[in-house]
Amino acid sequence: MKNEYSYTTIVNSHDTDIYGIVRPSCLLKYLQEAANYQIAYSHPSSEDLRAEGRHFVTSKLSLTVHEPLNAWDQIRVTTWACPSRGATFNRSSVIERDGQICATLASAWALLDATDNSIVRVSDVDFDFGVKAPVQPKLSLKVRIPREIPLYLIGEHTVGYADVDLNRHMNNTVYADVLYGHLKESDYADCRIAALSINYLHEAPFGSSFKIYSNSFAGLSYFRTVLADGNVGVEALFRFVPLRRYEE
């Protein structure tokens, strides 16, 4: 029984930001693609799950960026399932460059059954890969926005074609860019994201809109999105650190 799945790739230059480092959303895509590969080649496979009307959705994730990646870096991405119970499937993933860990991801997932709108329990599905201990993220998987921190409206986003996946909801990796994109440049000038956590509470369907509330101080940015029906979509926390210049 193989516990891990790994693949190698080269960083796409279009995945970098104004400082030439890979955007957090793209790190999430690299990391989650490894999980997609593992499940695609497992039993039951992702195709088997779809045939049964089942699909995974993200509940929580916490990304830690230990070292920034740059265009054309050669990387190795590895993922594995972690001990899980109840209705939560836990998973960890890492990105390495030349043997050095550059990013880690701790994530929690739910397996939904569209035939009866139920949640599939871990004990009700038997994947043919094993489990390993999880990575330890810098930020907790559970986002807690202190009551004493006021959140202010900073923008609104309409879920469009480029945001959605096969489920016709905004893909979980897109939120990092959308939230980041509504910050003032002064909030992140000469900084990079060192860690982020996102809790996904209600999905945002194709064509829907949500308001974005935030507050930033001391290198931290808190976010909450609110859907048109008043439900909270996501809550998130980003931690920024000063950008190390290449000459340093």
In percent, how much of the chain has pLDDT > 70? Answer: 98
CA distance 77 to 245: 25
User: 120 vs 26, 98, 115, 124, 219, CA distance in Å?
Assistant: 29, 39, 11, 7, 38
The model's confidence at residue 167, banded by pLDDT at 50, 70 and 90, is confident
Phi, psi torsion values for 31, nearest 5 degrees: -70, -45
Pair (169, 132) in one structural domain = no
Indicate the SS3 state at residue 45. coil
Pair (122, 196) in one structural domain = no
Q: Is the confidence at residue 247, as pLDDT, over 50?
A: no
- Give the pLDDT confidence score for residue 246 in this predicted structure: 43
What's the domain range around 73?
A: 1-139
The model's confidence at residue 203, banded by pLDDT at 50, 70 and 90, is very high
Pair (133, 221) in one structural domain = no
Please give the DSSP secondary-structure letter assigned to residue 15.
Answer: G
Pair (203, 239) in one structural domain = yes
Q: What is the Cβ-side half-sphere exposure of residue 174, based on CA atoms within 13 angstroms?
A: 15
Pair (118, 190) in one structural domain = no
Which pairs count as long-range contacts for 218-225, CB under 8 Å and 24+ apart, including other chains? 219/191, 221/179, 221/183, 221/187, 222/145, 222/149, 222/151, 223/151, 223/179, 224/145, 224/151, 225/157, 225/175, 225/179
Pair (19, 68) in one structural domain = yes
Question: 116-153: per-residue pLDDT in tens?
Answer: 889 999 999 999 999 999 999 999 999 999 999 999 99
Pair (5, 100) in one structural domain = yes
Cβ 220 vs Cβ 234: under 8 Å: no
Domain boundary pick from 97, 120, 139: 139
| CA pseudo-torsion sign 163, 56, 155, 15 | negative
Output the DSSP codes for 122-150: GGG---SS-B-PPP--SS-SS----TTS-
Pair (128, 198) in one structural domain = no
Written as six digits, the tokens of 142 are 């559970």
Q: How many domains does the chain have?
A: 2
Domain boundary pick from 108, 139, 170: 139
Pair (129, 24) in one structural domain = yes
Pair (105, 177) in one structural domain = no
Pair (57, 173) in one structural domain = no
Cβ 34 vs Cβ 93: under 8 Å: yes
Domain boundary pick from 83, 110, 139: 139
- Give the pLDDT confidence score for residue 248 in this predicted structure: 37
For residue 211, give the CATH number of its domain: 3.10.129.10
pTM of model > 0.75: yes
Pair (165, 125) in one structural domain = no
Question: 38-56: per-residue pLDDT in tens?
Answer: 999 999 999 999 999 999 9
